[in-house]
Amino acid sequence: MKISKIIPANKVKFDCMQDISSLSSQLDSGSEKNQLKLIPQLIETGETGYQTLMAWMGNCRDRGMATIPMGKAYQILYQLGTPETKEFLAQNFPTGVIPLKSESNIDYQPLQRLLAAQDFQQADLVTIQKLCELAGESAMERKWLYFTEVASFPITDFQTIDQLWLVHSEGKFGFSVQRKIWLSLGKDFGQLWEKIDWRKGNNWTRYPNEFTWDLTAPRGHLPLSNQLRGVRVIDAIFKHPAWNQ
């Protein structure tokens, strides 16, 4: 007769604590790529994992860090929505991990909340709204931009919008991501549309159902621009001085 081995409960708890301690140590010292992999593993360990993750986020905040893994951690805790995680985020990150700076008194909190919730489709619409707010009343009424309006956008605001997209997409989305791809393709917009899946052959990707509104999308897929009016708007975005700082 086979005798099952009984593992004492305190041994299981000890092993679990060892695992969490190891994950915590790796989180502190690892690269951003590894940190992104470790954060979900900590969450899977339960309440102790949440506590460890919150302590790590607090340390990062105290050191003035606002990294892509920080955005991932915030997003997971935000979506977890327990009383404890809600209280922690409200007290320590009331407006998220990215400072919502604006030289034009624009409120970026709605965009932050949508991106933290991974509602990329609605966040894309709000991004356009915020850019139109930066451009002024005429752009807000027409709900799209002239390329001539982009150059006057404050650097601070452009960087705030871009950082929000970056930290809440594991570094996949944002104007700066699209710009890097564009530069790598010799500033060829035709190749860019193909690379980020805005066009396939001669067929433009149809809005909204043919776009991918989650992290399975190609790198640089979001946010969108009114490229169907030509390349001038996105060209002006890519040439904005915000990306030179």
Q: Residue 154 sits in a domain of what CATH number? A: 1.10.10.1770
Segments in the chain forming alpha helices (H): 9-29, 32-44, 47-62, 68-80, 83-92, 109-116, 120-135, 137-142, 147-150, 155-167, 175-184, 189-195, 232-238
**Which of the 8 DSSP states describes residue 103?**
S
Residue 175: inside a domain: yes
- Buried residues in 91-106 as b, exposed as e (16+ CB within 10 A): eebeebbbebebeeeb
* Structural domain of 152: 109-244
Give yes or no for residue 213 having a pLDDT over 50. Answer: yes
Whether the model pTM is above 0.85: yes
Confidence at residue 14, expressed as pLDDT on a 0 to 100 scale: 34
Residue 167: inside a domain: yes
Residue 206: inside a domain: yes
Q: Is 225 left (phi over 0), alpha (psi -120 to 50) or beta?
A: beta
Tally of structural domains, the chain: 1
Q: Rounded CA gap, 166 and 63, in Å?
A: 20
Residue 209: inside a domain: yes
How distant, in Å, are the alpha carbons of 16, 37, 230 from that of 19?
5, 15, 53
Q: Tens digit of pLDDT for each residue in 154-200?
A: 999 999 999 999 999 999 999 999 999 999 999 999 999 999 999 99
Residue 79: inside a domain: no
Of 236 and 1, the structure prediction assigns the larger pLDDT to: 236
Residue 69: inside a domain: no
Residue 143: inside a domain: yes
